[in-house]
Homo-oligomer: A and B are copies of this chain.
Amino acid sequence: MRDEAARPGQRADAHRNRERILEAAAEVVGEDGTQASLRDVARKAGVGLGTLYRHFPTRDALLETLLRTGFDQLTDEAGRLLDADLPRDRALADWLSAFTERAGTFQGLPASLMATLGDPESALHASCLAMREAGGRLLRAAQETGRIRPDVDGTDLFALANALSWIADQAPSIAARRDRLLALLMDGLAHPDAGRA
């Protein structure tokens, strides 16, 4: 599915190894989370440990390739919601729901996202920042309607969204309450003076 075309000048075996590593990583990270053993990934890929490091010099580089498609979709989704014929606060709530759902796909992902935001050297930094900015634009649009409190910014929003994703991942009993906690968060974001049903 991903990166099917070989890179120009890349040897066929190298390209195949790269694909194998990514497939194995999807499995292992899916089971053990973003802190999964890289040795396990190499083993499952049937590849030497050095080969894994050659293709992905850091853990974040591997995660970035694994996650970029999903991140880009979320960034695009924010743009679509911004242009959609939808109440602005509704659009914001929809995006937060999509974000927390995706951030919950891998255990440990919210922590990785927050860590990466503070580390410009991380391979995940750029796409993570793009997501925060996209969410920030949705937030500001909603604030302009007066239905969302003006004293929060994109950093707050991204932090809260990750906090919600994190807590849902800590216990199944909490995961079942995710939507309700998200609604509670939206109420907290609502402007004090805005009328509520």
Contacts and interface: CB of A to CB of B under 8 A. Distances in A.
A131 to B, nearest CB: 15
Interface string A165-190: 01100110110010011001111111
Interface in A108-162: 111, 114-115, 117-118, 149, 151-152, 155-156, 159-160, 162
A103 to B, nearest CB: 13
A42 interface: no
A189 B184 contact: yes
A interface residue count range (under 10 / 10 to 19 / 20 to 34 / 35 or more): 20 to 34
The secondary structure that dominates the A interface is helix
27 contacts: A114-B167, A117-B171, A118-B171, A118-B173, A149-B184, A151-B180, A152-B184, A155-B173, A155-B177, A156-B180, A156-B181, A156-B184, A159-B170, A159-B177, A159-B181, A160-B181, A162-B167, A162-B170, A163-B163, A163-B166, A184-B189, A185-B188, A187-B188, A187-B190, A187-B192, A188-B188, A188-B189
